[in-house]
């Protein structure tokens, strides 16, 4: 599963779990206009491979396919317009990670490992205005397929110079 596909599944899940419109769920660190509040940002970080490949196969053309076990931290930040709105939306997102909704959307391709940061309020002042914001971080697991051309050795010929044999 490519990173873009993980983002798409997280986006779909966040929208379904919170009831927010697709346009109110955005990816973090984007430039451009932000949607009207409330909205949620999604960020993936600390993406890493865990252990050795789950499977590794080479086909007849010398193309190797390896399935890697991956982990990442998914950070959801919610920006609200009313008091407690941001926390409530992220609590919904957290609570539904253990339901059929998550199973249906992730279809076994993405799985929650553990919660790293429970839903927490992060009040911030911007131009002396209070911005209502909450954060939720969860470690997720997924598998990624990597392909590369490794080639094949078709024939090996050994020469024995002592006995002049092949």
Domain ranges of the chain: 3-149
Residue 119 is predicted with a pLDDT of 95
Three-class SS string for the chain? Answer: CCHHHHHHHHHHHHHHHHCCCHHHEEECCCCCCCCCCCEEEEEEEEEEECCCCCEEEECCCCEEEEEEEEEEEEEEEEEECCCCHHHHHHHHHHHHHHCHHHHHHHCCCEEEEEEEEEEEECCEEECCEEEEEEEEEEEEEEEEEEEEECCCCCCCCCCECCCCEC
Looking at the predicted structure, is the pLDDT value of residue 28 above 80? yes
Question: For 64-110, how does the pLDDT look when each residue is reduced to its tens digit (9 = 90+)?
Answer: 898 999 999 999 999 998 888 999 999 999 999 989 999 999 998 99
Distance, in Å, from the CA atom of 140 to the CA atom of 161, rounded to the nearest integer, reads: 58
Tokens 């959801």 label which residue? 76
Instruction: Provide the pLDDT confidence category of residue 126 given band limits of 50, 70 and 90.
Output: confident
Q: Provide the CATH topology of domain 3-149.
A: STM4215-like (3.30.2000)
Asked if 66 and 53 touch (Cβ cutoff 8 Å), the reply is: yes
Residues contacting 103, CB < 8 A, separation 6+: none
Question: For 150-163, how does the pLDDT look when each residue is reduced to its tens digit (9 = 90+)?
Answer: 877 777 777 877 77
- Rg for the chain (alpha carbons), in Å? 23
């Amino acid at each position: 599963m490519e990173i873009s596909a993980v983002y798409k599944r997280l986006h779909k899940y966040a929208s379904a779990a919170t009831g927010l419109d697709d346009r109110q769920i955005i990816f973090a660190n984007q430039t451009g206009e932000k949607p009207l509040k409330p909205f949620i940002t999604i960020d993936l970080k600390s993406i890493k491979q865990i252990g050795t490949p789950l499977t590794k196969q080479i086909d007849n053309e010398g193309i190797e396919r390896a399935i890697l076990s991956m982990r990442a931290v998914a950070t959801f930040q919610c920006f609200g317009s009313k008091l407690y709105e941001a926390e409530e939306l992220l609590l919904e997102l957290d609570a539904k990670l253990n339901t059929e909704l998550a199973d249906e959307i992730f279809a076994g391709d993405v799985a929650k490992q553990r919660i790293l940061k429970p839903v927490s309020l992060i009040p911030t002042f911007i131009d002396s205005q209070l911005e209502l914001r909450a954060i939720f971080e969860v470690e997720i697991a997924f598998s990624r397929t990597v392909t590369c051309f490794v080639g094949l050795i078709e024939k090996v010929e050994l020469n024995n110079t002592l006995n002049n044999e092949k």
